[in-house]
Amino acid sequence: MKRTIRDLKNIENKRVLLRCDFNVPLDNYGDIIDDTRIVSSLPTIKYLNDQKCKLIICSHLGRPKGYDKFLSLFPVAVSLMKYFPNKVKFSSKVTGKEVENMVANMKGGDILLLENLRFDSREEENDPTFVKELASLADIYVDDAFGVAHRKHASNYGVALKLPNAIGFLIEKELNVFYKAFENPKKPFVAILGGAKVKDKLTLINNVIGKADTVLVGGGMAYTFLLAEGIKIGKSIVDLDLVDDAREILKNAKVNGTKIVLPVDHVALLGEKVVKTSELEQDMVGLDIGKKTIQMFTEEILNAGQIIWNGPVGKYEDKRFRNGTMQIAKAVAKSSAYSIVGGGDSVGAINTLGYADKIDHLSTGGGASLKLMEGKVLPAVEVIDTL
Ligand code: ADP
Ligand code: MG
């Protein structure tokens, strides 16, 4: 068991460095388009603030190369001021004398948000000098940045090794959800796997086999499996070097009692024309699952006790190939199963299609949730003390 903020005692007036994931989408005016990531961090911030510690919060935003005024965390500070009136200050520097002075002037119950960590290139390099500067600002370190927990950066890996530490409520919840889903799944356990490439999802598929009762394979990934079965895939996306692996996976699944369901029809592109077909001819590119496949998948989904979904089942960004993902989202929303959706594009699709409130757990981290579904340990969690 990892130490959580509930296990931190007597932190009144102590300096606590909290790593959040405030990587929110901004529009051209610097306004926050979607504040999900801020809202998801509030329980931890509120809990620590109630303990009257001096709370120093840090985060990254986007992928700046050096200072970039369009990627300042100031809009996030403004948002936090709404939730914690008169308590929040913003530091335009990440580390250094100015920040140290601001921290020295903090009182218990104050909140200080530091500027975008990635304005300093040493953050992503996990540079020891940057780790030292960050660690010197605080007495205790708390990590609640689930979205980057699969990375080893200064603010979530290096610093954790330097200070007494704990995880916040968001990371705790994400870990519990995925742990339980794989260790103690509600049956039947149905996994929906999609996305573009088998290569990205090989470890995930292997982890699901033997644990899930049924795996529904859609998206670009399906074509490598179909080819492995000797089915024509036209010009659809395929990982040719993984056809043998796909065949092995299909065999393994049979041995381990996991049923794999592949698409039986498609929405495809033939030149400029969109066609619906159960057989992909030579020049066709499969870009969405067809009606019969949707029906087959829906039946499994409505019958499930637990659903894990990673990867859209079609090229959903294009309206012409969105129906499959939309119908699957609808079915998952309708199903009484406990539902988990993880993956950047998968969660994006659920939000775009308006089914977010019908899903039991929408993961806040794409890459990090993928790692958990692969059964891997997250490096930033590994460095947190155990109880
Ligand atoms: P996630 O981010 O949820 O893990 P991925 O990144 O693995 O998902 O996959 C999402 C991408 O897969 C989307 O860009 C989508 O357009 C693409 N995709 C889905 N189906 C197909 C297909 N049949 N052909 C090509 N690309 C596809
Ligand atoms: Mg993606």
- Check 108, 109, 305, 344 and give the catalytic one: 344
Between the CA of 349 and the centroid of ligand 1 the distance, in Å, is 10
Q: Which atom of ligand 1 is nearest to the CA of 286?
A: 23
Distance (angstroms) between ligand 2 centre and the Cα of 12 equals 41
3-state SS of 174-223?
Answer: HHHHHHHHHHCCCCCEEEEECCCCCHHHHHHHHHHECCECEEEECCCCHH
Instruction: Kindly list the domain boundaries of the chain, sorted by start residue.
Output: 5-169, 177-373
Q: How do beta strands 285-289 and 266-270 pair?
A: antiparallel
Which ligand 1 atom is nearest residue 314's CA? 20
The mean pLDDT value for 272-286 works out to 97
286 catalytic residue (yes or no): no
DSSP-derived secondary structure letter, 154: I
Average pLDDT over residues 208-231: 97
Confidence of residue 29 (pLDDT cuts 50, 70, 90): confident
Percent of the chain with pLDDT over 90: 95
Compute, in angstroms, the gap from residue 37 CA to the centroid of ligand 1.
Answer: 23
Rounded to whole angstroms, the Cα distance separating 24 from 32 reads 7
Assign 21 a pLDDT band (cuts: 50, 70, 90). very high
Homologous superfamily of 5-169 in CATH? Phosphoglycerate kinase, N-terminal domain (3.40.50.1260)
Q: Is 200 in the pocket of ligand 1 (CB under 6 A)?
A: yes
142 bridge partner residues = 18, 166
- 257 counts as catalytic: no
Ligand 2 midpoint to CA 383 (Å): 26
**Helix, strand, coil fractions of the chain, as percent rounded to 5:** 40, 20, 40
- Report pLDDT for 352: 87
Read off the pLDDT of residues 72-107 as tens digits, 9 standing for 90 and up: 999 999 999 999 999 999 999 999 999 999 999 999
For the Cβ of 239 lying below 6 angstroms from any atom of ligand 1, the answer is no
Least Cα distance to 236 among 315, 330, 121 occurs for 315
Q: Classify residue 96 by its DSSP letter.
A: S
pLDDT of residue 348: 87
**What per-residue confidence (pLDDT) applies to 260?**
98
pLDDT at residue number 30? 85
- Active site includes 320? no
Instruction: Band the pLDDT of 310: cuts 50, 70, 90.
Output: very high
Task: Please report the pLDDT score of residue 220 as a whole number.
Answer: 97
Q: What is the pLDDT of residues 294-306, one digit of tens each?
A: 999 999 999 999 9
Could you tell which of 221, 265, 315, 347 is best to mutate to test the pocket of ligand 1, judged by most ligand atoms within 8 Å of the CB?
315
Q: Whose CA is nearest to atom 21 of ligand 1?
A: 220
> CA 6, 9, 11, 12: dihedral to nearest 10 degrees?
110
Instruction: Quick: pLDDT tens for 257-266.
Output: 999 999 999 9
State which ligand 1 atom lies nearest to the alpha carbon of 348: 3
Catalytic residue, chosen from 132, 367, 375, 376, is 367
Tell me how far the alpha carbon of residue 342 lies from the centroid of ligand 2, in angstroms. 10
- How far is the CA of 312 from the CAs of 23, 88, 144, 200, in angstroms? 22, 39, 27, 13
Residue pLDDT, tens place only, 326-355: 999 999 999 999 999 999 889 988 988 899
The predicted model scores a pTM of 0.94
> What is the structure's pLDDT at 265?
98
The Å distance, Cα 219 to ligand 1 centre, comes to 6
How far is 379 from 79, CA to CA, in rounded Å? Answer: 30
Pocket test for ligand 1, best of 345, 364, 373 (most atoms within 8 A of CB): 345
- Is-catalytic flag, 271? no
pLDDT bracket for residue 28 (50, 70, 90)? confident
- Report the pLDDT averaged over residues 143-166: 98
What mean pLDDT, rounded, does the chain reach? 96
Q: Which CATH number fits domain 177-373: 1.10.3720.10, 3.40.50.300, 2.10.50.10, 3.40.50.1260?
A: 3.40.50.1260
